[in-house]
Structure 1
Amino acid sequence: MTEILVLYYSRTGKVAQLARLVARGVEEVDGMRARLRSVPPVAPVTETTAPPEPEDGSPYATRDDLRDCAGLVLGSPTRFGNMAAPMKYFIDSTAAEWASGTLVGKPAAVFTSTNTMHGGQETTLLSMMLPLLHHGLLIVGLPYTEPAVSRTQGGGSPYGASHVGGANGDNPLSDDERTLARALGRRVADVAARLARGA
């Protein structure tokens, strides 16, 4: 089985829900499997460290996960139009992988969640793409051939899957948001499979 790394940070659980849907989409492609991993929160006090494994949810990512994956799908909630600090902190720690070209030529995509419709979804998705481009990853989005991109009344755009959680964060994922998250996983897995076959 070829694995796609679905790497995310989730504080309220919405990004984690999207990550599971992306993973489901990955596994809809023959011969592909998703590896769900998260990143630890960033402590405001530097002496505080996170436990080696989270109490719940996906295990924390390691450098081996980056080395072993055939593709990467990155997810983070929006913080002022940008990715959350824990995800940025993790990415900032990947200089050795950048220098050695660990991720060069692998397909990648991004997903996010915000509380409001105009809370910075597209800028967050675009900002997450920048370090992926520096790593030499091949960015995969959601084309308009996915009908849900045109009809969604919530999250989802050509830049990636997303969710609008509502002012109190209590909006469930809409059918279109769920559809697009799965489609994103399928697209990355399909591109990875084609690259592996040399097609």
Structure 2
Amino acid sequence: MAEPYILVLYQSNYGTTKQLAYQIAQGVTQTGMAVKIRTVPSVAAETTEIKPAIPEEGDLYCSADDLKDCVGLAMGSPTYFGNMSASLKYFLDNTVTVWMAGNLQNKPACVFTSTGSMHGGQETTLMSMMLPLLHHGMMMIGLPYSEPALNRTNRGGTPYGVTHVSGATHDHPMSEDEKLLAVAQGKRLAEVAKKLL
């Protein structure tokens, strides 16, 4: 049997959601659990060419097997008008086979996002990502207020999941509190997954 792993699945255009993904992965590895970091290909309103199955650079694209075989899922997207990206939504819309087989039922999941502005729809984006995961039968894991950074932060972080405010030109680095919360979220997800094995 393969080693149990947490899947950290993200979509990122400017690298800020990717940074959160890697901080979450760090939290997962601190528990001794394996982690797979995956992304999704970009979609466009009009497709002129097929994307290669393996990206030329960066993280691998997520496969249906990556998704169905994970013991827990951390999923992240930038915020677009208070919602997840079209690319991540397209990927999720094509997970019907995984849903029909019940492969994700009773597995823990968490969500994360980055936005250009403080009131750019972080919480609605997190909620929009939770909906398909709940349909898959996953158990949502949030961030409790027992995390000191959640009470301190003035840049990002919610009880629904970690967030990052990157600024209108995406040049704001992650705050220490945002990093701490991302690591804590990954750690919590992995600890819950271990208890459910």
Q: Secondary structure at the match of 1:82?
A: coil
Q: In the TM superposition, what is the alpha-carbon distance from 1:7 to its structure 2 partner?
A: 0.3
Match of 1:47 in 2: 48
> Percent identical across equivalent pairs?
55
> 1:27 maps to which residue?
29
* 1:4 corresponds to 2:31: no
Q: Which residue of 2 aligns with 1:139?
A: 140
Partner of 1:166: 167
Offset of residue 67 of structure 1: 1.8
Query: Does the residue aligned with 2:35 lie in a helix, a strand or coil?
Result: strand
Q: Distance in 1 between matches of 2:58 and 2:112?
A: 18
Deviation at 1:44, TM superposition (A): 2.8
1:14 aligns with 2:16: yes
User: Alpha-carbon deviation of 1:156?
Assistant: 0.5
Whether the 8 Å contact between 1:43 and 1:49 is mirrored in structure 2 is: no
Residue by residue over 1:89-125, the C-alpha shift from the partner in whole angstroms, topping out at 9 and shown as x without a partner, is: 0000001111110100000000000000000000000
Aligned to 1:69: 70
Deviation of 1:168 (Å): 1.2
**Structure 1 residues without counterparts, runs of 5 or longer:** none
Distance in 1 of aligned mates of 2:118 and 2:191: 30
State the SS of the aligned residue for 2:5: strand
Q: Secondary structure at the match of 2:179?
A: helix
Give the distance between the partners of 1:116 and 1:49, measured in 2 at CA.
33
SS in 2 for 1:192: helix
Tell me what 2:123 maps to: 122
Q: TM-score, normalising length from structure 2?
A: 0.97
Following TM superposition, by how much is the alpha carbon of 1:48 offset from its aligned partner in structure 2, in angstroms?
2.1
Residues in 2 aligned to 1:55 and 1:22: alpha-carbon distance in whole angstroms: 24
Letter matched to residue 97 of structure 2? A
Cα pair 1:71 1:188 within 8 Å, conserved: yes
What is the CA deviation profile of residues 66-98 of structure 1, one whole-angstrom value per residue up to 9, with x for unaligned ones? Answer: 121100000000000000000000000001111
* Separation in structure 2 between the aligned mates of residue 141 and residue 57 of structure 1, nearest angstrom: 28
The one-letter code matched in structure 1 to 2:11 is: Y
* Aligned match of 2:194: 193
Alignment partner, residue 105 of structure 1: 106
Per the TM alignment, residue 43 of structure 1 is displaced from its structure 2 partner at its CA by 2.5
Residue 141 of structure 1 aligns with an amino acid whose one-letter code is G
**CA offsets 1:123-171 (integer angstroms, 9 cap, x no match):** 0001100000000000000000011111101011100011000121100
Residue 53 of structure 1: how far off its partner (Å):
1.4
Quote the RMSD (CA, aligned, Å): 0.8
Q: Displacement, 1:47?
A: 3.4
Within 2, Cα distance between the matches of 1:167 and 1:63?
34
Cα distance between partner residues in 2 of 1:3 and 1:190 = 12
TM-score (norm 1): 0.96
